Amino acid sequence: MRNFDIVHPSSWAEALGLLSGGDEGTRAFSGGTALMLMMKSGFYAPTRLIHLGALEARCSFIEATADGGLLIGAAATLSSVEASPVVQRSAPVIAQAMKKLANVRVRNVARVGGALAHGDPHMDLPPILAALGGEVLLCGPDGERTCPVESFYTGYLETRLSQGELITGVRLPPQAGWRSAYVKCTTRAADDWPTVGVAVSLRVVSGAIADARIMVGAATERLTRLTSAEAALRLGAPDAATFARAADAAAQEAVTVDSASGSAGYKTELLRVYVRRTLAEALLNGAVQ
């Protein structure tokens, strides 16, 4: 690694100002687990890192919103999300997924904002937050705005985060009545990056699937919502036959990509299996109260 400057802004305004220059070598840096790997491999050589440490305390909140939703600050560590009683109650799928995300040390320092900003489709959190209907909260030179997690990713490592913008948090709508699950498949070792990750959220009303969201990560170039698979579920009975139809639709719809962890064709077949399994697990998980 080459040397670079590390700057420590003490306010959001200062951090945004430092990021507004349009310099590719300037990056916001928090837990740093993802950026450090890019820097160590020589994939990214920064000239200046904007360390957000001084802003972390006021942006680490995890709280229930008045409408029964959830608000998670960008600087909340993945460990704090995992341990949060509010998360365990109102979005248990997130807390469960944390247990198999990287390892304890990474979760101790990696933060929700970074997990959203990184844009690697292999990350576990974006598909889950998208399936829950989450919105990314952004703050930039032109003020605050939001973007649905499901449409935040435009390509591999590419997001809708604009120049000079920072993620301040993520907001989830009320999950009452929704059943959710996230299942990933790692093809080399249990703790490897996923080859396919599927997050689903569905609502069953009077014995029929009233609403569903299905997100796929890892197997595709970017986080992708599988709308035809969702359509195959709608108004069907939550049973194996309906889930199999949705799985076939998912396999048809998703544009999987080749990588060292498997060919595109192999990932398509994995996706067919994992959509079915994730839907079954969501049903078993029961509805959030």
Partner 1 sequence: MDPSIRKIAFTLNGQKVSAQVESHINLVDLLRRFNLDGARESCGQGLCGCCTVLVDGVAVSGCLTLAQLVDGKSLTTVEGLDASGALSVVQQAFIDEGAFQCGFCTPGFVLMTHQLLETNADPDEHEIRDYLAGNLCRCAAYPEIIRAVKTAGDRMRAIST
Binding site for partner 1 (CB under 8 A): 1-6, 32-33, 36-37, 39-40, 49, 51, 53, 99, 102-106, 108-109, 190-191
* Nearest to partner 1 of 24, 142 (CB atom): 24
CB of 228 to partner 1, least distance (A): 36
Q: What token pair was written down for 286?
A: 């029961």
CB of 22 to partner 1, least distance (A): 21
* Nearest to partner 1 of 52, 216 (CB atom): 52
186: left (phi over 0), alpha (psi -120 to 50) or beta: beta
CB of 124 to partner 1, least distance (A): 15
Assess contact for 21 and 64: CB atoms under 8 A.
no
Mark out the alpha helices in 179-263 (DSSP H runs): 227-233, 240-253
DSSP character at residue 225: E
CB of 77 to partner 1, least distance (A): 9
Assess contact for 202 and 238: CB atoms under 8 A.
yes
Helix (H, G, I), strand (E, B) or coil at 156: coil
**Tally: H helices and E strands in the chain:** 12, 14
* Nearest to partner 1 of 3, 289 (CB atom): 3
* Nearest to partner 1 of 23, 191 (CB atom): 191
Sign of CA dihedral 66, 68, 73, 79: positive
CB of 167 to partner 1, least distance (A): 20
CB of 43 to partner 1, least distance (A): 13
CB of 198 to partner 1, least distance (A): 21
What type of residue is 203?
A: R
Q: Give the pairing type, strands 62-64 and 70-73.
A: antiparallel
Q: What token pair was written down for 31?
A: 């837990």
Beta-bridge partner residues of 204: 209
Closest CA to 170 of 112, 210, 233, 122: 112
* Nearest to partner 1 of 51, 171 (CB atom): 51
CB of 78 to partner 1, least distance (A): 12
* Nearest to partner 1 of 2, 260 (CB atom): 2
* Nearest to partner 1 of 106, 280 (CB atom): 106
Q: Distance between the two ends of the chain, CA-based, in angstroms? A: 49
What's the full length of the chain, in residues?
289
* Nearest to partner 1 of 106, 273 (CB atom): 106
